[in-house]
Structure 1
């Protein structure tokens, strides 16, 4: 199973649009997971055009987005338990918040956003994966999104690029 993972698209904003690299990968994917901060329901609907979509809302999402998607998701895919949450909140680090969010589910993988910082690391037996931002890199040198391959194990990687074209 091939999955594209995105977060923090923050669209529409300025002249930004979905980058071609991301669009091409979403067309080929079995599933797209968005970890929040879409911003408007129009962007949510745009992502739906690429096939199966799962997502959660983030701290800047409109009321319409919050009505369209849950705050958190637990997915069971290919024998793996995957938690999805944006990661915003108070106190603690984003990593601690997302890990504690799915402690009872004993998630194999937790997908989150919020920081715009790409991350791929284990905390105990759980893989934490932040795809970064495909459209709002802030002070980072590259935009990014993630790709997951689920077979008998989880393979996760970041796709980095310097232009939104």
Structure 2
């Protein structure tokens, strides 16, 4: 894996489990065990990065627990607390038609049907019913439901989203 690829934060190490180097993970994925689909992770903290290999993983009581190669005791595991877990974007499975990874939507420019640029997608929120785009720009912060009623087009090539959304919404 090279440094030129896009790394996507997928969670963080929140603590240790047991004495043999197992870690407790807070996953920022739809399903916590989705992280187990990726054998190589990059851990990041304070601008420093370290590539690691996933040795084993499981969910217990709704919590993701993993064992990384070379992390064999509680002290080594404890030193990794707070590290962000990143996965290379190229390792993601292709999205289904009309489905998008959040990582791909962040950074896209949002314009409305009048051609006015509302801003850039800075984040997404999960509300239960549907996801919501958080758009920041010259007209302030807009929260736009990511549903076909409001999102007319998503163009990956030009990194643009057209929304049926007024300035006063």
Superposition TM-score, scaled by structure 2 size: 0.24
- Please tell me whether Structure 1 or Structure 2 has the larger radius of gyration of its CA atoms: 2
Superposition TM-score, scaled by structure 1 size: 0.24
In terms of fraction of residues, the more strand-rich structure is: 2
